[in-house]
Homo-oligomer: A and B are copies of this chain.
Amino acid sequence: MLTSTPNKKDIESAHERILSFIHQTPVLTSELLNQKVGCELHFKCENFQKVGAFKYRGATNAVLQLSAEELKQGVATHSSGNHGQALAKAAKIANSKAYIVMPNNAPKVKIEAVKGYGAEVIFCEPTLEARETTLQKVIDQAGAVFIHPYNNYDVIAGQATCAKELINQADGLQIILAPVGGGGLLSGTLLSAHYFAPNIEVWAGEPENVNDALLSLKRGEIVEAPITPTIADGLKTSLGDKTFPIIQEHIYGILTVTEEEIVNAMKLIWQYLKIIVEPSCVVPLAAIIKNPVLFHDKKVGVILTGGNVDLEKLPF
């Protein structure tokens, strides 16, 4: 297991390690959407990843490095969403067991999915405190290994493989955008751009309602995410002490967008690309549309992080 920021070799090894378990997701484009937005967009479709989200990369990379003894005890995490599913499936392919602590108000579709992968779901009150106490109890009782959703170097190395693939699939990218929540995907993206295509500018998109990453950058220290609601519910988490320094060192900038801008961008992707993506991952497109001058005529990669949406609660 990695004990410091992944280097180039670490990311290459992570990719080799997980390659036969993940989908190498396609990169989609739309001429009409390009015309509308004014730049050349290349969408890396992690909504087509196993479990429907990029999180499967990081979870798989972390689980595949556990010892036989550790696998026997199982793995545990707290997650209201995709990381829970990802760890559940990663545990399954490694013949291990996953314990997933979920808030009792988590979307039904995500609870069912986690159970579907054979994991044990332990419910807790939807507070940070209840989540951590419950998780600690599970770890103490089962002896399971805690795999953090993002503040974990092996998880970061796994998420980095997504941008690594994108860089290979779309030649000559000038910019890559990813959304930022806890910073696992963003820090992985920054590292892959840094090692494999150092001329690429990496920007992040963040909801205005939960703009803690932007504030953290400005203040030079981690600012806790506010408990403001946002439709981009995957981005409500705060940065971690492993992700923040990577972001500080390499990020080009963070752009924030309103809830309305997020819904509009989501609709554009559904209409033009004919794919289902979560609100969290359209934040970068919303940021591009809001700041046309920054991206005009550029060749831009956008990571679409996932597609797990409750179809009965659509915003349109």
Chain A residues in the interface with B (C-beta under 8 A): 26, 28, 32, 47-48, 52, 109, 116, 267, 270-271, 274-277, 307, 311-312, 314, 316
Contacts and interface: CB of A to CB of B under 8 A. Distances in A.
A50 to B, nearest CB: 8
Given A48-B274, A276-B275, A267 B311 contact: yes
User: Can you tell how many copies of this chain the complex includes?
Assistant: 2
16 contacts: A28-B48, A32-B116, A47-B274, A52-B274, A267-B311, A270-B276, A270-B311, A271-B311, A274-B275, A274-B276, A274-B307, A275-B275, A275-B276, A276-B276, A311-B314, A312-B316
A277 B47 CA distance: 16
Contacts of A28: 48
Contacts of A267: 311
Contacts of A276: 270, 274-276
A21 to B, nearest CB: 12
Contacts of A109: 271
Contacts of A271: 109, 311
Contacts of A312: 316
A275 B116 CA distance: 21
The 4 closest A-B pairs by CB, nearest first: A274-B307, A274-B276, A47-B274, A311-B316
A276 B275 CA distance: 5
